[in-house]
Structure 1
């Protein structure tokens, strides 16, 4: 006992020195190595482990560290048999578990399951084991997965053993022997726990020889352990005492149980002392030693009352904390679903707005194209189909009416041909072809078309190329320079300039819009045929 306390004091002294060190404050606060040292004391000197845990919590730990430190306290109180404080601290650890790793979450759930099982809250215990099983897949290490799977299976088997369902426990442990042998071979403490559980099953099934076999294996393993694990040792010694009782080796059982009692006294674990006192009393009674029977029976009754009161406090705390945890989970779920709802509504509004904008953009494009096409059709009618108006104007040149009619007839035939696409076409050339003079021709074009000769020719050329684009889809894929040459313009740039001045948009933009309109018409036809 004293060496353990001296060792603990030394640890705390070193921690205080490190805490005051600037280097420690930057890189090691709070001291993770101190946590490891504290865990070495949990199953041999839990009272000192509690002091270290409380000290670590005072140093402004992170949330992840809080989960670890509260778990340390919970396990230390469990080793002391103080179930109420163990329950309180394991639930505190659970509050910070979200930010901890999956291994810490599983450890918290396993301890909760162990506590609930001890307090006969079997449904809650099973749920914790189920949650722990779900989290195992998140572990990266196969070795860790195997270890925790074995711990969960042993936990389930111990629940059967505590409820005296020995056959179910035995069947479960038989499976573990084959499946989790690699995990057992790497962890002597886990294997010892397994051997003792299997021995308990055999004792319950009254197969004492088989129980002796596994207890002997557990004893052999316990001698190889470097750190003292009084909880495992007490479980082993108590089971040995029970076997000796069945074999009527009562003196040997008493010696074994007295060793177990010394360990339980060191832990100050009244729950274990209750069990040991009861077994000692029964063995003394079997030897007809009434004095010692009365002594240990009185000790049993005293510890029984204390343990009952402690367990009742723990059950009340457990129910209160479970209710708080469920309320917290409900609020978190409510908040989460509210977030999802607002996100969904926001996404829906966004989709609707984007859909409306796309529809509006498409609608405006179509509208613009229709307006352009309508505009061009009007221009075409003005250039090609419009009958020359006869109206009185202030004539600059006097042209005989008969000559005027002849020239208008020739202009009509000229418009119905494609001679205007000739690059060499000019006022003089056309006047020569019409057997008239340039003044007469220019005056008649100005009078009846309200344009000069160049504008008149350019409109004919643009109308011609637009007709080609609308009638022959291949034209939409030709280069602008080809369209310029085809319609009679001497260059790409002059064609583009004239085209935009007449239509209001560049030739490339017009072709793109025309393509969209063509595709839309095709789609409409396909839909109408399908319906």
Structure 2
């Protein structure tokens, strides 16, 4: 064969073989990092970081976020999950959905996690072709099963778990771990449903299998913790303690803090039942220490999601929209939903306080004095020039005004200055001057405020008036038209009759 063709064939096939070898090497290292998750999350993080590049960020982020969740470092996991990332390996969108849904599930946003997963599966569930996608789908279905379990939707959890296991055709080491984890979740579902004997059989069988591979520390300890719960339900406390201590033994020097917290708590409960106060106090304190740390982490992580930079979310959503428009709108909706959930109760309390302040201000603004003492008259006289109206006449008119206010004759829509002057047996000039002087307002304002005060008292004391039309309430208050009542009401109180009625209805 001519030398030229040898060189050409080498470049054609030899170059392809080198590329395939390079990808295979990355995949092997990724699989090793995944296996490390179940052996030591800190080692998994170190292993994943060593192979992170601009083109392989998303698969590595999948490892890093899960490792931090297993450690209980929820804040770091959230930060990494929302980093800008890209991958040329496998299904980019599916992997991002897997990462996000896991974050929401671990932070107890079960409803949001359910929406993220179900809406994605509705659109993309029929396109699972490659083995790589099958492995990602298996993990996504597993998270969905755990989420359903948290929501106590046991039948849905069982179906999702079956779909997770059915997605694993390639029986390599990594899928085998997912299958074992599915067995454990299946046993937990049975335990939650009260089928303890069936749960025990699965847990015991799984434990024997896991004991053959001592590197699967996480699943081994989790299985022992479940067996401890089963023995506790049977009131076999000594055997429960034995299982829990076996669960705890390999965890001592590994940062599986959420799992440790569960084991510490279960041990303290068993020792409490056995009245072993020393051991109870020991594990209670350990449980509370870890629980406090995890609680602060989880609280901060939930806040971190709500406080994510808006521009960063928009950029990420824009990138996803260019590839998958449906995914963009869904993620944006989830972000707004979380913000609304966080702000709803705060806004509601603020509105209540504002409404109360408005009502207090209003009642103070219409606090019309109904009595004017002789001392007040003397003070008014002494502070101004002598009046042309005799003092005795002033006192008589003020006394008659008090009777007028109590009689509610001001509700007569034909009431005028001349009409009232005639009723009080005085002239319009005297009456107008005394109202201006002692009521600090003109006649029309004086009458209108009396009417508005009467309307407010009716609305506050008899809730049936809240169902009436504004026009009817205006008529009861002595106003000749809806519009006149509305204008006067707003000028006196600062808000419309409709606004005031709505505030009263909301306060019921």
TM-score, length of structure 2 as denominator length: 0.52
Counterpart-to-counterpart distance in 2, 1:261 and 1:221: 19
Counterpart-to-counterpart distance in 2, 1:171 and 1:123: 14
Deviation at 1:329, TM superposition (A): 4.5
Judge which range, 38-47 or 313-322, deviates more.
Answer: 313-322
Does residue 1:283 correspond to 2:270, yes or no?
A: yes
Rg (Cα) greater in structure: 1
Instruction: Say whether the 8 Å CA contact 1:157–1:170 is kept in structure 2.
Output: no
Counterpart-to-counterpart distance in 1, 2:132 and 2:320: 30
Counterpart-to-counterpart distance in 1, 2:51 and 2:97: 22
Q: Which residue of 2 aligns with 1:305?
A: 292
Q: Which of these residues, 83, 102, 123, is aligned with residue 111 of structure 2?
A: 123
Q: Which residue of 2 aligns with 1:526?
A: none
Q: Which residue of 2 aligns with 1:217?
A: 205
Counterpart-to-counterpart distance in 1, 2:323 and 2:224: 51
Counterpart-to-counterpart distance in 1, 2:81 and 2:74: 10
Does residue 1:86 correspond to 2:77, yes or no?
A: yes
Q: Which residue of 2 aligns with 1:294?
A: 281
Q: In the TM superposition, what are the counterparts of 1:462-473 in structure 2 within 5 Å?
A: none
Does residue 1:328 correspond to 2:318, yes or no?
A: no
Counterpart-to-counterpart distance in 1, 2:321 and 2:189: 45
Q: In the TM superposition, what are the counterparts of 1:357-396 in structure 2 within 5 Å?
A: none
Q: Which residue of 2 aligns with 1:169?
A: 154
Q: Which residue of 2 aligns with 1:467?
A: none
Q: In the TM superposition, what are the counterparts of 1:12-27 in structure 2 within 5 Å?
A: none
Q: Which residue of 2 aligns with 1:244?
A: 231
Superposed CA RMSD in Å reads 3.6
Q: Which residue of 2 aligns with 1:452?
A: none
2:70 aligns to what SS in structure 1? helix
Deviation at 1:323, TM superposition (A): 4.6
Q: In the TM superposition, what are the counterparts of 1:459-498 in structure 2 within 5 Å?
A: none
Instruction: Say whether the 8 Å CA contact 1:137–1:145 is kept in structure 2.
Output: no
Instruction: Specify whether residues 135 and 71 from structure 1 end up closer, same or farther in structure 2 by C-alpha distance, changes over 3 A only.
Output: same
Deviation at 1:198, TM superposition (A): 2.0
Does residue 1:259 correspond to 2:249, yes or no?
A: no
Q: Which residue of 2 aligns with 1:274?
A: 261
Q: Which runs of 5+ in 1 are unaligned?
A: 1-23, 338-531
Q: Which residue of 1 aligns with 2:85?
A: 95
Instruction: Say whether the 8 Å CA contact 2:145–2:160 is kept in structure 1.
Output: no
Deviation at 1:246, TM superposition (A): 0.4
Q: Which residue of 1 aligns with 2:347?
A: none
Counterpart-to-counterpart distance in 2, 1:275 and 1:304: 9
Counterpart-to-counterpart distance in 1, 2:72 and 2:281: 24
Counterpart-to-counterpart distance in 2, 1:152 and 1:193: 13
Cα-to-partner distance string for 1:51-101 (whole Å, 9 max, x where unaligned): 2333444xxx233x1223333322322232212112222222x6325x442
Counterpart-to-counterpart distance in 2, 1:72 and 1:178: 22
Deviation at 1:105, TM superposition (A): 3.9
Q: Which residue of 2 aligns with 1:140?
A: 129
Q: In the TM superposition, what are the counterparts of 1:510-521 in structure 2 within 5 Å?
A: none
Cα-to-partner distance string for 1:259-298 (whole Å, 9 max, x where unaligned): 2223333331222221111100001111111110111111
Instruction: Specify whether residues 184 and 321 from structure 1 end up closer, same or farther in structure 2 by C-alpha distance, changes over 3 A only.
Output: farther
Q: Which runs of 5+ in 2 are unaligned?
A: 1-17, 325-508
Q: Which of these residues, 40, 44, 50, is aligned with residue 49 of structure 1?
A: 44
